[in-house]
Structure 1
Amino acid sequence: MYQEGDELMFISSEIFKERIEWITNTLQKNDFTLILLDNGMEEKWNEMCARIEEKISPDKEYVVNLTGGTKYISLAVQSVFEKHNKKKLYYLPSPKNHLLRPLWSDDTVIPVKYRVNVEEYMKAYNIKKSNPKSLTKKITDTQYLFERYTQDSLNKNILEKLRPYRDKKNKTFLISDLEKETKENIRDFLLDINFLADPDSSEINKDEIQYLTGGWFEEYIYDLIEKRLNPEDIKLGVRIGEAKLQQNNELDVVFTLGNKLFVIECKTGVGKESIFNQTVYKAAALKETLLGLPSSSYIFSLIPENKKFTQRAKYMGITYCDVTYFTNDNKLNSLIEDIKRNAYD
């Protein structure tokens, strides 16, 4: 609908002025008109209408989006522009991707064809993000680990002993040192899962340890989503934080589909109730404070079915999926269809 040469106009209360800047920064548009309603004016009908009327020109045609803002402001905007000879009024029934045309003679809907990517979504909410991670291993290696893990033929005790090394400053680790410290035969384990490109290698790096201790499941889900859903955009391991805040959070897998943002937290194990609670509270807090209402958050785990966990996550607005969703084709297909409905309904 927007064409080169068109001008943008925003009508906003004072408290949302900053959000207009987020939107225009995302659009990379510096030339726009802002009609700012003073604090308290948003409940004063005549003052609102007068402020808007003094800023619009009888010679221009206006395409007006009535979506957003308080209902009272939207009514005032509609009232002012209804009197204008050159106007087209539209309403976007969020979160759907089409426009309605109030006061027109028919009920034709206009599809919204544009699709936002992850970076655009983040910018619109003033969220700073890091560059995404790249895949550590070939997807065939990741699928092999998934099969070994879900068939309980992977030495999970060794994986747990390697987990603390994820947070160490070292970039590489001698396998012999790891064996001494963990009292485990690390080399035989790595050879058993065909992990070493060179069987005689004497070290593994930090990225490989992160991959072994859970990163492989993130990459498995990344590949699964990309193939089954074909999203508009998908990223792996993106660190985010609000521009004003110093604290960062990592999104394991994040993608956009149907102009909605989906975030997946991947956990090979959250069996302890305290760990699960921490994970679900973090996901809920991120959704509420940073990612915006249109986002959908999921926790994917490889532990057995736990109805208590499922209900607690649902109560917090999070969808929780245990290992059965990834080993049972019917449940996986149902999950994929649910995400599609969430994206396009």
Structure 2
Amino acid sequence: MKTILVSLVSEQSVPNVLAIHHFKPDELLFISTNEMERKKKCDAIIKTLETLGLHYAGKSNKILVQEDSILDCHKKIDQWIAGREDSEFIVNLTGGTKIMSIASYEYFKDYSSRMIYIPIPKNQYIMPFPKKSPGKTIELTLRLNVVQYLTAYGLEITNKEKLKGYYRGAIERAELSEWIVHSYDKLKNALIWLSGNLRSHRDDSEFNFHSDFKGANAHEIALFERLGFSLLSGVVSKKLTRSEIRYLTGGWLEEFCFNTVAEFIEKGIDDAVIGLKMKNARGRDNEFDVMFTIDNALFFVECKSLDQHDDKNADVLYKIGALQKEFGLKVRSFLVTTSPYILKNGDIRQSVQARAEQFNTRVVPPAQVPNLRKVLVKQLNLKEQ
């Protein structure tokens, strides 16, 4: 007997992906709407399943219904089901509108169908019917990685092929990045000087750097040496690659944050990426410093290095809020900053804290940056290693 899984399509795609991966049916039926079709939600689910080794491109059907009409839902299902009445149906009631859920339940209950519901954000499903003896809770084992999660929501990643290289670079420089963060006060002047000279060259493939830096302290001399600079009579020089330029204009903090997160991969955190770019609705790229997933939920880290005089009110928090709204993602985020200007009398400014809470963001101020690991353990309920 053929098994067909019925999925109600809505903004939340992950529950449908989880159910299809768990049951691995012979065919799929998507009950969708014109609005969800415009957003290509079914296509996004199919693409995500492809990344999981499940190929349903030629084994799925889709019907478009009026989301507020039980009669229309039943009429469209009637047209589709002809010749399939003997199939075994599993109906995922999680998505769609309430009317679509009611219509699907009423229609398929006459076929002795299994009805399932996935209570977001839990990674499990229940069988709520029959009411007198509902089925037990069943755990769903799939954990999506960052790329799969974003694909499920129909988001276009524009630099997917570069992510492994960014990962390797961050791992290779892990010890250096940690040393910079823990020695920041002694390195700050050199880092600000380097960033100021190089920021306009962030998109250059290479750049011949040559400039004066007088009075370097022992830590700054060590920094130049570790980075492979020539230092002669106060003149600092080196032919820099794009990767090195980006590292010296804030990448060191991004890589420190990434490596701290990556410590917990397969130990509470499922996946992490650095430097991912997504295309927004207007066709512009948005870059995320660090993204990671835990139990099919998405998190990201925004890093602001150096003093950032022009960011006293942490306007980057508006960027975080805009990204959450624009991409329709319910995410938690962290703002990790070395700027002292978000502080007042040693505490985070009240206006900054209020804005952070509005956008579900945890601010990690300068004094806590070296202890980011402890912050993540506490905030994300990770286990100390």
Shorter-chain TM band: 0.7 to 0.9
Partner of 1:162: 195
Alignment of 1:111-126 (within 5 A): 111-126=139-154
Per-residue CA distance 1:280-327 (angstroms, 9 max, x = gap): 11111111111522x222211224541421221112332322234334
Q: Are residue 241 (structure 1) and residue 284 (structure 2) matched?
A: no
Q: Is the 8 A contact 2:229 2:238 kept in 1?
A: no
CA distance in 2, matches of 1:208, 1:311: 36
| TM-score normalised by the chain length of structure 1 | 0.84
CA distance in 1, matches of 2:191, 2:230: 19
Partner of 2:206: 172
The structural deviation recorded for 1:60 is: 0.5
Q: Are residue 322 (structure 1) and residue 365 (structure 2) matched?
A: yes
- Indicate which of 222, 232, 238 corresponds to 2:270: 232
Partner of 2:95: 68
Partner of 1:102: 128
CA distance in 2, matches of 1:77, 1:324: 55
Q: Secondary structure at the match of 2:256?
A: helix
Q: Is the 8 A contact 1:233 1:256 kept in 2?
A: yes
Q: Is the 8 A contact 2:187 2:220 kept in 1?
A: no
Alignment of 1:254-269 (within 5 A): 254-269=291-306
Partner of 1:24: 46
Q: Is the 8 A contact 1:229 1:336 kept in 2?
A: no
Q: Are residue 192 (structure 1) and residue 222 (structure 2) matched?
A: yes
Q: Is the 8 A contact 1:218 1:252 kept in 2?
A: yes
Q: Comparing 279-288 with 267-276, which one deviates more in the overlay?
A: 267-276
Partner of 1:36: 64
Q: Secondary structure at the match of 1:250?
A: strand
- Indicate which of 35, 55, 78 corresponds to 1:15: 35
Partner of 2:9: none
Q: Is the 8 A contact 1:163 1:209 kept in 2?
A: no
Q: Secondary structure at the match of 1:262?
A: strand
CA distance in 1, matches of 2:310, 2:104: 50
Q: Is the 8 A contact 1:266 1:300 kept in 2?
A: yes
CA distance in 1, matches of 2:276, 2:377: 22
Q: Is the 8 A contact 2:89 2:114 kept in 1?
A: yes
CA distance in 2, matches of 1:82, 1:273: 61
Partner of 1:47: 72
Report the count of equivalent residues.
327
Q: Is the 8 A contact 2:211 2:237 kept in 1?
A: no
Partner of 2:322: 285
Residue 138 and residue 267 in structure 1: after superposition, are their counterparts in 2 closer, same or farther (change >3 A)?
same
Q: Is the 8 A contact 2:181 2:370 kept in 1?
A: no
Partner of 1:127: 155
Partner of 2:3: none
Structure 1 segments unaligned to the other structure (5+ residues): none
Percent identical residues: 25
Q: Secondary structure at the match of 1:33?
A: strand
Q: Are residue 144 (structure 1) and residue 179 (structure 2) matched?
A: yes
Q: Secondary structure at the match of 2:141?
A: coil
